[in-house]
Structure 1
């Protein structure tokens, strides 16, 4: 009997009946389950963070590629294009505007690299800061490089641009231009000039003429203030930010009566 009793007690302790688990057993199993789920949660969390990081990198690269080849935000750093563009505006520059045989037209607002025309060659920037600034500028989060400018095209290759006529207006190919986009406090130019734009280049000016360093300021320098067409980054087509200034930049009708250079009466520029 004693042996049988001891055997029975030993059986109960080593193999409890279903539904009759002890507290210790439940605690161990619960601990094992929570450990398994905890490890799974940690793995999922780690995977989610990695995926989120990879997704973020992929999205950034996609935006940078889109900005490099198609449309780039460009932050306006000065008042030289007021009232058309204000300081802090983000314009969206259409980089495909001149990619398929088209060239800048009179009246276009263009962004261009002024190296060699507005800025002397050989200016160097720290490579790391240049790369960082370039990435943020490409996203419209930083001011553009000091070599990038935004101006309006007033003369294209072959044009004769003169300022000013008897009425104080700019003339292009003998036709006075009614520049209604100018800053209300400005005259077309306080600096007289009479130039012929070489083929493959542009004569550009800011809309805020009294506060714009443009082609007029580089007349006596190599290149004569002309911007090579191949230095044009793109055409500013829209204001994308701030929200209250969302609009497209419509092409002005100021140059609609200007004839092509070769069709000018007399045919020569004089």
Structure 2
């Protein structure tokens, strides 16, 4: 879902171009026509937007071609380029057109989210098969390497050693944290984890996801999710400083998770209070 909503503002501005890219196909062409019609762009605006988009695509291509950048640096630079591109497009649009574009993107985000929700059900059914396919592919790749028996044994030993060390490190990390917390804080953390696990098992136990939740709770969660995505998208489309934008989204996400847990807790209490 995160990927679904990522850079919707950039998609919107790129969709303003009059031409259809080779990658876009008919769907991007229709999206382009829809945006141009809704925003009522002048011929001069269309030309400027197209020039801005070409410059953005060129810079992104140059960034992807750089092999000396770390993953973090590449992501930071890409974010900077997207922000610059969106600012450039906003400078071309009138204030009314900017407002209209935000409304269009909010509407599109809601539609895409509903579509994505339907796809999640089908995706869940494929998870087991996907895991099997990945295992088969790993096996095929190992066969292609033509490993000797000695190499296979060494790799197996290294993997087992890695798992053991990972468990030991996790245990050591918890122990170090407990040295920082007071006994009272440690007890609270245990209760938090216990409640969280209960709520998670209650809401998501089994293959059918939220099947244990009553319809009212499902509706509340759906509404909560839609409101969160809408507010998040509004922040992403705003022109506030990147750091302030990041903090605002983090606050929204924290509140969303808190309210989500409250809804699940309330549903569990209601379920437990029903006569058997």
Whether TM exceeds 0.5 here: the answer is: no
Higher Cα Rg: structure 1 or 2? Answer: 1
Say which structure, 1 or 2, has more relative contact order (CA 8 Å, 6+ apart).
1
| TM-score (ref. length: structure 1) | 0.16
Normalized per residue, the structure richer in strand is 1
The structure richer in helix per residue is: 2
